[in-house]
Structure 1
Amino acid sequence: MGTKGRILLSILISTHYVICEECPIGWSYNAAFSKCYLFTNTLATWTSVREECQSFNGKLVEILSEEENNWLDDHLSEYSSPALQRAWIGYVDSDSDGDFEWLSGRKSTYTNWYSSPGTKECTILDHRAGGFWSRLPCSWTFQAICEQLPRIIIRRRSKCQRLSSTNNPIKMKYYISALN
């Protein structure tokens, strides 16, 4: 397609359609991080919740900034009873050498440890400790925070916002300027 055809297609799309980011029903969307989050309500070991996140086409959350940590901590308190408010995250010392990394293999540029690093292999975000992280045995049971990238969907302008089965709007953002 020539330049003229691409410009015409871009005008057609930007005039009649929007590109939306959507999360599955039950997941929370944050436009600042362009991620979908699921706060599980079952207690399980780290290995079990990692598999649960994978079964939803996600992974245990990777917290990349203080802003993301604070947002997750605030939502953890909303989605959990006061007795729970602790959740597994995807920061792990897989070979027990004291060198933690995200499940993706990414080294962390942001951490939020409650105390000095210990010898435990798995990490929780602990709302009861002010949003700090704690290292605990992977065999302990907590809920989890899963993440996945949102689905990109092109919709007619009037159909981008829709309601979930719980009547809570599924949050989306628009990229009209990216098409111009």
Structure 2
Amino acid sequence: MSQSEGAVGTYKKWDFDARMEVEKQDRRKVPKGVLSLLAFSPERAITLLYVLLALAFVLFTTLAIVNLQRVSAAWEALEQARTRSENSHATAWHNLSEVQHALDQQLSAELEVIHSRLLNVSREVENARWKMTQCKAGCGKELSDRVRVLEERDTLEPVLRQLAEVKQEQSRASALLDAALEGTRNLSEILCTSCPAGWQQFAKTCYFFSDTTKPWPSAADFCAGFNAHLAVIDSEQENKFLANHIMGNRVFWLGLTDAHKEGDWQWVDGRSLSLTFWNSGEPNNVGHHGEDCVTIYSSGHWNDATCSNSEAWICERSC
């Protein structure tokens, strides 16, 4: 072997040893876990991946179930709060309705007492007016007799002065009696003294509440037969008075209709509608034949209904 070949062999051996040393150093730098993974076969790596995915799925499912339970608990708490709120609102509304009903009954009782007193006053006024009328006739005759007697005497100056004074007295007495009679007449017109049997009185108006039912046109004809008409409501007090005389779930026809023109509500006395007490969502004119006539509930609210329906009715007339 030549010297050059020996040198080449020595160089190759040195180069192999150097590479081995570098590989050892690289292995020292790589973590043991990576080496162990690199040492796995492909089948073991896939199995490990499936296990990791299964653990991730279980963890996600657990978190989802916990969140759903929390959401369900929060929703149940909200439902309980809403139920308590609705119960409180219903209780408050019921109590308010009872208080209003009690006040309405008390007001009706007080109105009845006032009406009774007014009737007594009216009777006393009528008696006083009759007595004054009798007095006017009697006193006038007495004064006329005195004037006639004086006129028949001699026309002396003192007698003439007395005659003039008697005539002035007669004039003053007549004027006072006329004024008193006019005052009693006006008071009698203000006070309602009587309503027909079976009719209820409110202010200067009499009302009839039927026990039977009829369609709206027939009910209007019935009222006309008593020189009356279906009820026309002019104030909130009148509406409450009518509602207080309605028992249970009954409804009564009022004298309000838009049969002549849809939406143009008018009372039977020709006046247009200005004050309303419609129920919620009314009037709605539902049904094939429409709803052109109006009823009133015991709550005082109104509803439009088909005029051919058979309902009770309320008539109204002056005292």
Q: Which residue of 2 aligns with 1:118?
A: 284
1:135 deviates by 0.3
1:93 deviates by 0.5
- In the TM superposition, 1:14-163 aligns within 5 A as 19=188, 20-21=191-192, 22-31=194-203, 34-77=204-247, 82=248, 85-114=250-279, 115-119=281-285, 120-127=291-298, 130-150=299-319
Retained in 2: the 8 A contact 1:64–1:108?
no
Task: Label 1:143 to 1:6 Cα distance change in 2 as closer, same or farther (>3 A).
Answer: farther
* Structure 2 CA distance for aligned equivalents of residues 103 and 6 of structure 1: 44
1:11 to 2:176 alignment: no
Retained in 2: the 8 A contact 1:90–1:123?
yes
Give 1 or 2: higher helix fraction.
2
Amino acid across the alignment from 2:266: E
Q: Which residue of 2 aligns with 1:166?
A: none
Between Structure 1 and Structure 2, whose CA radius of gyration is higher? 2
- Residue deviations 1:32-78 (CA, integer Å, cap 9, x gap): xx21000011111000100011111100000111111111000122x
1:13 deviates by 6.9
Task: Label 1:90 to 1:12 Cα distance change in 2 as closer, same or farther (>3 A).
Answer: closer
1:96 deviates by 3.7
* Structure 2 CA distance for aligned equivalents of residues 103 and 35 of structure 1: 16
Task: Label 1:10 to 1:134 Cα distance change in 2 as closer, same or farther (>3 A).
Answer: same
| Count of aligned pairs between the two proteins | 140
* Structure 2 CA distance for aligned equivalents of residues 91 and 12 of structure 1: 40
Identity of aligned residues (%): 32
Task: Label 1:143 to 1:9 Cα distance change in 2 as closer, same or farther (>3 A).
Answer: same
Retained in 2: the 8 A contact 1:92–1:100?
yes
| Contiguous gaps of at least 5 residues in structure 1 | 151-180
* Structure 2 CA distance for aligned equivalents of residues 3 and 101 of structure 1: 52
| Contiguous gaps of at least 5 residues in structure 2 | 1-170, 286-290
Deviates more, 1:113-122 or 1:56-65: 113-122
1:5 deviates by 4.0
1:94 deviates by 2.3
* Structure 1 CA distance for aligned equivalents of residues 245 and 172 of structure 2: 46
TM-score in terms of structure 1 length = 0.69
Q: Aligned with 2:246: secondary structure?
A: helix
Amino acid across the alignment from 2:301: F
Task: Label 1:43 to 1:110 Cα distance change in 2 as closer, same or farther (>3 A).
Answer: same
Retained in 1: the 8 A contact 2:214–2:309?
yes
Amino acid across the alignment from 1:29: Q
Structure 1 stretches of 4+ with a deviation exceeding 3 A read 2-7, 12-15
Retained in 1: the 8 A contact 2:253–2:311?
yes
Amino acid across the alignment from 1:147: E
Give 1 or 2: higher strand fraction.
1
Task: Label 1:109 to 1:5 Cα distance change in 2 as closer, same or farther (>3 A).
Answer: farther
* Structure 2 CA distance for aligned equivalents of residues 146 and 46 of structure 1: 12
TM-score in terms of structure 2 length = 0.40
* Structure 2 CA distance for aligned equivalents of residues 3 and 54 of structure 1: 48
Task: Label 1:123 to 1:12 Cα distance change in 2 as closer, same or farther (>3 A).
Answer: closer
